Amino acid sequence: MEILYQNLLNIEFQHVIMWIIGGLLIYFAIAKEMEPTLLLPMGFGAILVNLPIAEAGSGVQAVIDFLFKIGIDSHELFPLLLFVGIGAMIDFEPLLTNPKLMLFGAAAQFGIFFTLFLATLLGFDLKDAASIAIIGAADGPTSIFVAGQLQSNYIGAIMVAAYSYMALVPLVQPPIIKLCTTKKERLIRMEYKGKKVSKTTKILFPIVVTVLVAFVAPDAVALIGFLMFGNLIRECGVLNSLSDTAQNVLANLITIFLGITIASRMKAEDFLQVETLLIMGLGLVAFIVDTFGGIMLAKLMNLFCKEKINPMIGAAGISAFPMSARVVHKLGLQEDSSNFLLMHSIGVNVSGQIASVIAGGLILALVKGMLGM
């Protein structure tokens, strides 16, 4: 008889809290459409790994742990494969027509480095602080890659924070942008010089980026290499069906397993800690400071440049692609319904993608070097 009610007796208060958290993630994914592709599997996974039956050795935990081991823990396979799909989705043309936009991608990584310092000040050790800081990359695969490589103890919380804030970009960024800019600045018009980019340039770009990043940040080569491989498939013009598969089938398949795999690190005993709240707070700080950094560079450039830049586009330097670019475009339209900033903000947005990968690689190299990992 005992076997019938044994699992009921195994339920603990912490399990119930995790079910509520899982339920909330599913609610946000479905009702609010916030990053549903990841929040939904993560939410369901959070419930799954916190069932008492799972602890009783039903095999569920073992399967998810196995997925974690092969997909993230061993060589960060899932985030890298996902980057092939993301690379195939990205069109670098707006960036190639105006390469100066790359500077904003660099500026908007300020939040990563500020948060690294802040997290250390709050008492996190260097490897955890670096893993938390990379939430500011606004790029899920990069966050997973760095946190996985540094073997952070908080990978579950970091993933939840990274993907939650990416989904919350339309809520987080507008008030910061408005706070940092004047109405006059938001009304600045930027002419889009739609120069034609040759096919050769588009093909050479991913190769050149990969080689350059190998010199600047060798630890980022895996990330940038897979991202640029996806982009090369897209731009070469002879692999349309592979490009289509990478953008849709591959990206979707990996996303399904990535979400539920991350949930393996959302067990009550690991997740329900004060540190989780701190990580959520630090992640928010990272996003805010990133936005601030991008805007401030645009303001600084306006002091010297003849052709004025709308400072709002600097905010798109976080690599939440393409949400951040769309947020800036919408804000531009709110101020002036004929001011189209989309192409500029997309250019900045894709430069943020490259910059965040370089930042991730540098953090990895520097922290590993200091800790002798």
Partner 1 sequence: MNILAAVSKDIPIADAGIVALLGYGVVFLGLILLMVVVILLGKAFVAAEKRKKEAPIETPAAAPVAEPDAPVAPGSAGGVKLYDVEPKTAAMLMAIVADKMGKPLNELRFISIREVK
The residues of the shown chain that bind partner 1, judged by CB under 8 A, are: 89-91, 93-94, 96-97, 99-100, 102-103, 105-107, 109-110, 112-114, 116-117, 119-126, 129-130, 192, 194, 196-201, 204-205, 208-209, 212-213, 216-217, 274-275, 322, 326, 329-330, 333, 340, 342-343, 346, 351, 354-355, 358-359, 362-363, 366-367, 370
CB burial of residue 302 (10 Å; 0-12, 13-18, 19+): middle
Give SS3 for 42: helix
Are 71 and 261 spatial neighbours (Cβ–Cβ below 8 Å)? yes
| Cis upstream peptide for 322 (omega within 30°) | yes
Q: CB-wise, 71 or 347, nearer to partner 1?
A: 347
Closest to 45 in 3D by CA, of 254, 252, 256: 256
Write the burial class of residue 14 (CB in 10 Å: 0-12 exposed, 13-18 middle, 19+ buried): middle
Tokens of 341: 């900033």
Least distance CB 186 / partner 1 (angstroms): 17
Residue 41 CB, nearest distance to partner 1 (Å)? 21
Could you tell me the smallest distance in angstroms from the CB atom of residue 213 to partner 1? 7
How many CB atoms within 10 Å of residue 187? 13
SS3 sequence, 185-254?
Answer: HHCCCCCCCCCCCCHHHHHHHHHHHHHHHHHHCHHHHHHHHHHHHHHHHHHCCCCHHHHHHHHHHHHHHH
Indicate the residue among 209 and 298 with the shorter CB distance to partner 1. 209
Give the shortest CB-97-to-partner 1 separation in angstroms. Answer: 7
Say how far apart CA 364 and CA 368 lie, in whole Å. 6
Query: In this complex, which beta carbon is closest to partner 1, that of residue 113 or of residue 287?
Result: 113
Question: Phi-psi region for residue 163, left (φ > 0), alpha (ψ -120 to 50) or beta?
Answer: alpha
| CB-nearer residue toward partner 1: 114 or 165 | 114
Measured from the CB atom, the residue of 54 and 86 that comes closer to partner 1 is: 86
200 vs 303, beta carbon nearer partner 1: 200
When the beta carbons of 34 and 106 are compared against partner 1, the nearer one is 106
What minimum distance in Å lies between the beta carbon of 19 and partner 1? 27
CB of 235: closest distance to partner 1 in angstroms? 11
User: Minimum Å distance from CB 184 to partner 1?
Assistant: 23
